[in-house]
Amino acid sequence: MSVITGLPEVSVESLNIDEQPELALLTARNAVEARLTYLARLIGGPDRPDEALRTLEDNGTIERPVARAIQAVLDASNPVAHGATVAPSVAASISFSAVTLVRSLDELIEATTRKIREMPASVRLSYAYLSLPARLRKAVADEIGIVPEGALPHEREYARAVFKTAKTEQRIADLWTAVSRHTGLIAADANPFKGAGNE
């Protein structure tokens, strides 16, 4: 089971490999990619799975053997993602590998999340905001009435502008509340900025 709400669950039992090998393979691939991008966003990395994998391997978050196994799953499933068919035996082999990788990535996410939860509230809020996909970063900014100019939601400058405005306008508590609705990183925590003004 995923430690983060919103990441797709996958298990060998849930994959109907014999009847729908292509769908099973793509389902397993999707679960791996979702965790890659989530983990990369936690450290301020890119959203694209291939770029996320390179970033996570380069900074040591994912060890090389695991990175190679992930790349093998992505490479093997690419033709299916573009409409090719696959034999059930091949789909089974790749899907089983993907399910194992999902467990490993969930453990990495859990370990990273534990480290983040030990950090100061302002740092936790930054990590929580950056862990959101671009569309939710924009939704959070819209919800609290902040419209950064000159940057797109997937860019770091956008996040910096949101935090700068929230601090200037003493809306950090509002930002925490809005972000907490979308991520388990801070959802269970009391808002440390509520009634405390700007920090």
Both 105 and 150 in one domain: the answer is: no
What does the alpha-carbon distance between residue 5 and residue 142 come to, in Å, rounded to a whole number? 22
Residue 10 is assigned to a structural domain of this protein: no
Both 139 and 103 in one domain: the answer is: no
Both 173 and 88 in one domain: the answer is: no
* pLDDT, position 1: 43
Residue 44 is assigned to a structural domain of this protein: yes
Residue 191 is assigned to a structural domain of this protein: no
What does the alpha-carbon distance between residue 13 and residue 10 come to, in Å, rounded to a whole number? 8
Residue 67 is assigned to a structural domain of this protein: yes
Both 80 and 154 in one domain: the answer is: no
pLDDT digits (tens, 9 = 90+) for 64-91: 999 999 999 999 999 998 999 999 999 9
Query: Tokens in use for 148?
Result: 């950064």
Residue 4 is assigned to a structural domain of this protein: no
Instruction: For residue 127, give the H/E element and its range.
Output: helix 121-130
Q: How many residues does the chain have?
A: 199
Both 86 and 126 in one domain: the answer is: no
Closest to 49 (Cα-Cα) out of 64, 76, 30, 63: 30
Residue 138 is assigned to a structural domain of this protein: yes
Residue 141, exposed/middle/buried by CB under 10 A (0-12, 13-18, 19+)?
buried
Residue 137 is assigned to a structural domain of this protein: yes
> What CA dihedral angle connects 133, 170, 196 and 153, to 10 degrees?
10
Both 53 and 77 in one domain: the answer is: yes
pLDDT digits (tens, 9 = 90+) for 12-66: 888 888 899 999 999 999 999 999 998 888 877 787 899 999 989 998 989 999 9
Both 99 and 171 in one domain: the answer is: no
Both 86 and 64 in one domain: the answer is: yes
Both 108 and 154 in one domain: the answer is: no
What does the alpha-carbon distance between residue 18 and residue 2 come to, in Å, rounded to a whole number? 25
Q: Could you tell me the pTM of the whole model?
A: 0.74
CATH code of the domain containing 80? 1.20.120
Residue 139, exposed/middle/buried by CB under 10 A (0-12, 13-18, 19+)?
middle
What own/partner pairs with CB < 8 Å and gap ≥ 24 does 141-150 have? 143/178, 144/171, 144/174, 144/175, 144/178, 146/171
Contacts of 90 (CB under 8 A, 6+ apart): 21, 76
Domain boundary among 117, 138, 172: 117
Q: How many domains does the chain have?
A: 2
Both 111 and 152 in one domain: the answer is: no
Q: What mean pLDDT comes out for the span 4-16? A: 79
What is the span of the domain harbouring residue 164? 121-180
Residue 186 is assigned to a structural domain of this protein: no
Contacts of 65 (CB under 8 A, 6+ apart): none
Both 101 and 166 in one domain: the answer is: no
